[in-house]
C-alpha cells in the first residue's frame, strides 16, 4: 500500500507541473518506447518516405541478426556441458535436461561413490568359530514395526560379532495393537540370511536343545541383560555383557531398541550392519514378486512406460496426536484431538495450557508432520505436473477424504497397493501386517522419486538404501522448518516461494553427504559402507 501511495503522489506532481520552454522535445523523448533509436528517423519517418523505407530495411536486418544470435545462444546452452567440481577440480560434466532432473539426481554428483559393504577385511576368509567354541549364545526380541525390527536384527548380528557369540535367530515380538504374530520366517528368507553371514557370525535357527526352560530367557532376571544404554559403545558389551554370557552360556538382551552406537564402534562392525541390511536381509520371494508386479503396474498406468513418485504420507491419527502440533481444522476437531491426547499421553498433556506455545515452537523447528495440502504445494513448486503418478504409502489419514482433498485436486493420480492389486492377490499378505508393510517398502524403494513427509525408520531406511544403490534415485527430504516459515508468510508471492523451494531442496535429494558424529547409519551409509569409485 505504501508503494501505491508513493507512485500516485508522483503522478500527481508530474501532471500538475507546467512544461518549461524547451521541455517539449525532452517530454516527447521520455514518451518514446524503450527500443527507439535516433538514427532510425523517429518522428521524422512520416516526413520522408525514403527515410521510412531505409529505416524499415534496417529494422528487418537487426531483427534477423537478433533472431540468429538468440537461436545460437539457445542451442549452445542446450548442448554445452555443465561445469562441476570433483575433489576441488573443475570438470566438464554431461548436461542433464531439466525434464529429467525432476526424476533423477544429476549423473556427475552420483558417480564418485560405490557400495562396498559386501567386502570383508581379510579377503573373505571366515574367522567364525564352531558353535560349541563361541563364547555363548545371544537371544533378542526385535520389537516395534517392521523397520524397527529390521534395525534390531542388524544390531543383533553386530553385537554377536563384537562378543564372538552365537546368535539365535531373532524373534519378532508380537505387536500389541495389531495382534500381529509374524515370525522371522514369515517375512524374511532365513536360509539366505544364515548362509550369507556364515563367514561373519554363527547363527542358529533355535535355542539349543540342552537349554530346556526356554521361557526363562525373558522371565528370569538371571538370564536377561536389561541395563544396556541407548547407543552403547562396543566396549560396553565387552566389559558388561560378555562376562555374563561366558558365565551363563545363554543370555537374552532386553530391551534392544537402538542399543548400539554408530561412531563408537569399529568401522568393520558398521560395515557388517550394512551387509546385513542391504545383502543378508531379503524378503521372501513371493513378497518380492508381488512388489515387482505392483511397481510394474504403477509404471504402466497410462498405457506407456512412465516414471512414478512414491509418497510416504505420515498423517495418521496417532502420528498427529503424538506430534502435539497444531493443524488446520474446526473447533470440534481440535477439541476431539485434545481429548485424545489427554487420554493417550496424560503426562505430556497436563492441563493443556502450554501446548499452543509448544506447537508453534515445534513447527518453527520443523518437527511437525506435513499435511497433505502442504505436500501438494511443495511438489508443485518443485515442478511436478498434475499428471504425475504418485504411489501413496500411508495408514489411514487423519481427517479422511477432506484432509486428502487438496493433494488429490492438485495430483489426481494418487494410488495405493489396494488400487493396483486385487483382493485375491493381497489376501495371503493380509495374514501379517508386516507383509503389507514390506510391499509398501519395496514399491517405494523401486520408485523414481521418493518423498518423505516426516521422520521415522521407514523413511530413513528407504533413503539409506537408495543412497547405497548409487545416489541416482531422488529421495526428497523436505525442509519442514523453512517450509513452515514460507507457509506462514502471507506476503510471499508464488514466484518467491518456488525459488525458495527449489534452492533449498537442491541438496536434499539423497545426494552423497559426509558423515558426522552421532550420524544415522541407516539414512546415510556413505563412509563405512561405501567406497570411492
What is the count of structural domains for the chain?
Answer: 2
Long-range CB contact pairs, 348-352, < 8 A, 24+:
348/324
CB atoms within 10 A of CB 385: 10
The CATH number assigned to the domain holding 418 equals 3.40.50.11350
Helix/strand number for the chain, H first, E second: 25, 15
Compute the Cα dihedral for 417, 418, 422, 428 and give only its sign: positive
253 and 182 housed in the same domain: yes
| pLDDT score of 73 | 35
208 and 300 housed in the same domain: no
Q: Which residues constitute the domain of residue 178?
A: 131-279
| pLDDT score of 53 | 55
Residue 240 lies in a domain: yes
202 and 186 housed in the same domain: yes
Residue 85 lies in a domain: no
DSSP class of residue 493 equals -
451 and 483 housed in the same domain: yes
164 and 305 housed in the same domain: no
169 and 302 housed in the same domain: no
Residue 156 lies in a domain: yes
255 and 290 housed in the same domain: no
266 and 293 housed in the same domain: no
Residue whose C-alpha cell is 518437527: 367
Residue that finishes a domain, picked among 279, 298, 331: 279
Spatial contact of 261 and 231, defined as CB atoms under 8 Å apart: yes
| pLDDT score of 81 | 36
Cα angle, residue 408 at apex, residues 402 and 409 outer, rounded to 5°? 95
Q: How far apart are CA 488 and CA 378, in angstroms?
A: 14
Residue that finishes a domain, picked among 279, 306, 339: 279
| pLDDT score of 184 | 95
Please give the grid coordinates belonging to residue 374: 502442504
- pLDDT per position in the chain (533 positions), as tens? 333 333 333 333 333 333 344 444 444 443 333 333 343 344 444 445 555 555 555 555 555 544 444 433 333 333 333 333 323 332 233 333 334 488 988 888 788 899 999 866 555 556 777 777 899 999 998 988 899 999 999 999 999 999 999 999 999 986 555 556 789 999 999 999 999 999 999 999 999 989 887 777 777 888 899 889 999 999 999 999 999 999 999 999 988 989 999 989 999 999 999 999 999 999 999 999 999 999 999 999 988 899 999 999 999 999 999 999 988 888 899 899 999 999 999 888 877 777 788 888 898 889 999 999 999 999 999 999 999 999 999 989 999 999 999 999 999 999 999 999 999 999 999 988 899 999 999 999 999 999 999 989 999 999 999 999 999 899 999 999 999 999 988 899 999 999 999 999 998 999 888 777 777 899 999 888 999 88
Torsion of CA 403, 404, 410, 414, to 10 degrees: 170
Residue 70 lies in a domain: no
C-alpha closest to that of 259 among 333, 127, 159, 358: 159
| pLDDT score of 478 | 96
Please give the grid coordinates belonging to residue 463: 533413503
H-state helical runs in 382-492 = 400-410, 417-420, 423-427, 433-445, 457-468, 480-487
Cα angle, residue 25 at apex, residues 21 and 31 outer, rounded to 5°? 125
H-state helical runs in 80-196 = 98-101, 146-162, 184-187, 190-196
Residue 212 lies in a domain: yes
| Beta carbons within 8 Å of 41's beta carbon, 6+ residues apart | 48, 51, 52, 54, 55
Residue that finishes a domain, picked among 251, 279, 307: 279
Q: How far apart are CA 435 and CA 170, in angstroms?
A: 17
Residue 7 lies in a domain: no
Please give the grid coordinates belonging to residue 416: 495405493
Residue whose C-alpha cell is 485434545: 338
297 and 193 housed in the same domain: no
| pLDDT score of 340 | 93
| pLDDT score of 189 | 97
Residue 80 lies in a domain: no
Q: How far apart are CA 284 and CA 188, in angstroms?
A: 5
477 and 521 housed in the same domain: yes
Q: Alpha carbon 230 to chain centroid distance?
A: 25
Residue 47 lies in a domain: no
| pLDDT score of 56 | 58
Long-range CB contact pairs, 101-105, < 8 A, 24+:
102/382, 102/383, 102/384, 102/449, 103/307, 103/448, 103/449, 103/474, 104/448, 104/472, 104/473, 104/474, 105/471, 105/472, 105/473, 105/474, 105/509, 105/510, 105/511
pTM over 0.85: no
The CATH number assigned to the domain holding 161 equals 3.40.50
435 and 480 housed in the same domain: yes
184 and 292 housed in the same domain: no
Please give the grid coordinates belonging to residue 511: 545426494
Residue 168 phi/psi, 5-degree rounding, is -80, 135
Spatial contact of 136 and 447, defined as CB atoms under 8 Å apart: no
Amino acid at each position: 500500500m505504501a508503494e501505491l501511495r508513493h507512485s500516485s503522489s508522483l503522478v500527481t506532481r508530474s501532471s500538475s507541473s507546467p512544461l518549461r520552454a524547451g521541455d517539449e522535445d525532452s517530454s516527447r523523448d521520455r514518451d518514446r518506447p524503450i527500443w527507439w533509436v535516433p538514427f532510425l528517423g523517429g518522428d521524422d519517418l512520416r516526413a520522408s518516405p525514403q527515410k521510412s523505407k531505409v529505416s524499415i530495411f534496417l529494422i528487418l536486418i537487426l531483427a534477423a541478426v537478433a533472431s540468429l544470435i538468440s537461436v545460437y545462444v539457445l542451442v549452445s546452452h542446450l548442448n554445452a556441458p555443465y561445469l562441476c567440481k570433483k575433489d576441488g577440480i573443475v570438470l566438464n560434466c554431461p548436461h542433464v535436461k531439466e525434464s529429467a532432473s525432476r526424476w533423477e539426481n544429476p549423473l556427475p554428483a552420483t558417480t564418485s561413490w560405490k557400495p562396498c559393504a559386501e567386502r570383508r577385511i581379510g579377503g573373505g576368509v571366515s574367522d567364525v568359530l564352531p558353535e560349541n567354541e563361541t563364547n555363548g549364545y545371544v537371544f533378542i526380541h526385535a520389537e516395534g514395526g517392521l523397520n524397527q525390527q529390521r534395525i534390531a536384527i542388524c544390531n543383533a548380528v553386530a553385537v554377536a560379532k563384537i562378543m564372538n557369540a552365537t546368535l539365535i535367530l531373532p524373534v519378532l515380538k508380537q505387536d500389541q495393537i495389531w495382534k500381529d504374530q509374524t515370525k522371522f520366517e514369515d517375512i524374511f528368507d532365513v536360509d539366505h540370511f544364515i548362509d550369507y553371514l556364515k563367514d561373519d557370525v554363527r547363527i542358529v535357527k533355535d535355542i539349543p536343545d540342552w537349554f530346556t526352560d526356554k521361557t526363562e530367557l525373558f522371565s528370569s532376571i538371571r538370564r536377561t541383560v536389561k541395563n544396556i544404554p541407548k547407543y552403547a559403545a562396543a566396549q560396553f558389551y565387552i566389559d558388561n555383557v560378555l562376562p555374563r554370557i561366558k558365565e551363563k552360556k545363554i543370555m537374552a538382551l532386553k530391551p534392544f531398541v537402538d542399543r548400539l552406537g554408530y561412531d563408537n564402534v569399529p568401522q568393520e562392525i558398521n560395515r557388517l550392519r550394512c551387509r546385513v541390511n542391504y545383502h543378508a536381509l531379503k524378503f521372501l520371494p513371493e513378497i518380492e514378486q508381488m512388489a515387482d508386479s505392483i511397481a510394474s503396474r504403477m509404471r504402466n498406468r497410462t498405457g506407456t512406460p512412465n516414471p512414478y513418485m512414491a509418497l510416504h504420507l505420515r498423517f495418521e491419527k496417532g502420528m498427529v496426536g503424538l506430534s502435539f502440533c497444531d493443524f488446520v481444522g474446526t473447533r470440534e476437531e481440535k477439541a476431539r484431538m485434545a481429548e485424545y491426547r489427554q487420554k493417550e499421553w496424560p503426562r505430556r498433556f497436563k492441563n493443556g495450557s502450554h501446548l499452543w506455545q509448544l506447537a508453534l515452537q515445534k513447527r518453527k523447528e520443523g518437527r511437525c508432520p506435513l499435511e497433505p495440502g502442504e505436500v501438494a504445494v511443495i511438489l508443485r513448486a518443485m515442478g511436478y505436473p498434475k499428471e504425475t503418478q504418485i504411489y501413496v504409502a500411508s495408514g489411514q489419514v487423519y481427517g479422511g477424504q477432506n484432509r486428502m482433498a487438496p493433494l488429490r485436486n492438485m495430483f489426481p493420480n494418487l494410488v495405493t497397493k489396494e488400487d493396483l492389486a486385487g483382493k485375491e492377490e493381497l489376501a495371503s499378505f493380509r495374514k501379517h501386517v508386516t507383509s503389507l508393510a514390506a510391499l509398501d517398502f519395496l514399491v517405494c524403494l523401486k520408485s523414481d522419486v521418493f518423498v518423505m513427509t516426516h521422520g521415522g525408520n521407514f523413511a530413513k531406511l528407504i533413503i539409506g538404501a537408495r543412497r547405497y544403490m548409487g545416489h541416482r534415485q531422488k529421495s526428497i527430504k523436505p525442509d519442514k522448518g523453512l517450509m513452515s516459515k514460507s507457509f506462514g508468510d502471507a506476503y510471499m508471492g508464488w514466484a518467491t516461494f518456488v525459488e525458495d523451494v527449489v534452492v533449498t531442496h537442491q541438496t536434499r535429494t539423497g545426494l552423497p553427504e559426509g558423515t558426522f558424529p552421532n550420524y544415522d547409519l541407516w539414512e546415510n551409509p556413505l563412509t563405512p559402507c561405501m567406497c570411492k569409485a
